[in-house]
Amino acid sequence: MITIHIPTPLRRFTANHNQVQVSGSTVNQALQTLAEQHPGLQRQIFDENGQLRHFINVFINADDIRLHEGQATAVSDGDELELLPAIAGGNLQALTSAEWRSQLEDEIEQLRASAAMPWLQDHQDAQILDVRTREEWTSGHIPRAVHLDKGYLEVQIESRIPDRNTPVLVYCASGVRSLFAARTLQMLGYRRVINLAGGIVQWKNAGLPIETPDFLSSEQRARYLRHLAIPEVGENGQLTLLKSRVLLIGAGGLGCPAAIYLAAAGVGTLGLVDDDVVDRTNLQRQILHTEDAVGSSKIESIQSRVRQLNSSVNINLHPLRLDKASAADLFARYDVIVDCSDNFDTRYIINDEAAALGKPVVHGSVYRFDGQVSVFWAGKGPCYRCLYPAAPPPELAPPCAEAGVLGVLPGTIGLLQATEVLKLLLDMGRPLIGRSLCFDALNASFREIRYAADPHCACCTTVVPGRTTEVYDEAV
């Protein structure tokens, strides 16, 4: 048997015995056995990760085990083990890094990986905070975590985690940097801050899940830097845009400005639907088509201009006139449908098929000096038919060719549509659902028309019993 001498302060865990006999063939085994026999000693001797606590020196007979093979040192019958604390201090107020760290290890609540998982399940409101560098983050992180490099912690934490009552589980690679970060959070008033002992390394070793994020290349970061600076967009938002698929129906006055700005913003895939060719009368407003392009395909003309601006955008050309069958087929492959068409037949096809698939439609239309924009999204709000159950008689709504349109107006409206598209893709702000924004160029004014889903709408499924259609104007 091995004799372990118990330091005076630990005897309350050994029923006051000043020595305990254990068996084991190494120092580590002997200590483990000791902690099993006297469970109160577990936390006194070992830390959250099962490592010997940092301040403890272990001696075998009269030798420090570090003079032999550390905790792997062999022990045999008759050997004596003794645990003693490392003792240092002094009047100096300044701490060494190691001293500060050991103090924080005492003061900050720590959870090891295996205990962190159930804790997170019990604390759904908790935020996991990764304070490693961007490079480390991109190589894999804990799911649900947010990343904030420790270097930016003090200046950015309040915008990332505004509520100081949010419990925060902070981690880094090994649990050391995050310990100092945890102290910073405490100083900033975060009430419950827990350090993940052993960091993501122990998390991985425990077989817990890791998520490897998509991340922007340095080229993409440079290109979209102004987006990254907006918290509502940021890197995640830009990644979302890059993965987004937007279908534009109509490659004319509305489609041109919408397409080029969506491409510039980094929408990953643009589908272009139009079977028309560029006509000389288009050049007054259809801003992407050039004199050279007259007589050639409109969607190819847009494609070549978009490529010059942002070659990374995927462009799908759909040279067809939209009908029910092609709409159903195409819409399923896109996230948002942008209605840049110029006729009621197409608008109703777009509306009906999008409503059937539950896809949002960003609608725009222009007439002389007036334009309007709205978002139709069956299931979340009214559809186009709720507002206009049937096409107006042709004499009330003459086509653009007859009525005419101020050349710059489609630019204004097309860009309002592009703005709504980005809002929908990034789930930010208040999209124009159930609202129509009307622009009066002559008066230089916007007004908003609000409307509700029609409970008797022949198209959409947003049937709300007892609700009546209500249309009223509101000056903006």
187 touches other proteins (CB under 8 A): no
Closest separation between CB of residue 52 and other proteins, Å? Answer: 13
214-219-225-231 Cα dihedral, nearest 10 degrees: 10
CA distances to 30, 33, 35, 83 from 25, in Å:
7, 11, 15, 17
92 touches other proteins (CB under 8 A): yes
Task: Name the one range near other proteins by CB under 8 A: 78-86, 153-161, 218-226, 376-384.
Answer: 78-86
Residue from 14, 28, 59, 201 in contact with other proteins (CB under 8 A): 59
Closest separation between CB of residue 87 and other proteins, Å? Answer: 4
Task: Name the one range near other proteins by CB under 8 A: 55-63, 327-335, 433-441, 448-456.
Answer: 55-63
List, as one string, the DSSP characters of 157-172. Answer: HHHHS--TTS-EEEE-
Nearest to 426 by CA among 214, 244, 220, 217: 244
Q: Is 125 exposed, middle or buried (0-12, 13-18, 19+ CB in 10 A)?
A: exposed
Nearer Cβ to other proteins, position 96 or 314?
96
114 touches other proteins (CB under 8 A): no
82 touches other proteins (CB under 8 A): yes
8 touches other proteins (CB under 8 A): yes
85 touches other proteins (CB under 8 A): yes
Nearer Cβ to other proteins, position 96 or 445?
96
17 touches other proteins (CB under 8 A): no
Q: In the annotation, is 400 catalytic?
A: yes
CA distances to 272, 294, 314, 369 from 280, in Å:
21, 6, 28, 21
Closest separation between CB of residue 8 and other proteins, Å? Answer: 5
Q: Looking at 172, 400, 457, 460, which residue is catalytic?
A: 400
Distance CA 194, CA 221 (A): 32
Q: Could you say which DSSP state residue 132 is in?
A: S
Distance CA 97, CA 402 (A): 79
Distance CA 419, CA 435 (A): 15
Instruction: Determine the size of the site formed for other proteins (CB under 8 A).
Output: 34
| Number of residues in the chain | 476
Active site residues: 400
Contact positions vs other proteins (CB under 8 A): 5, 7-12, 44, 55, 57, 59, 62, 64, 82, 84-96, 98-100, 102-103, 106-107
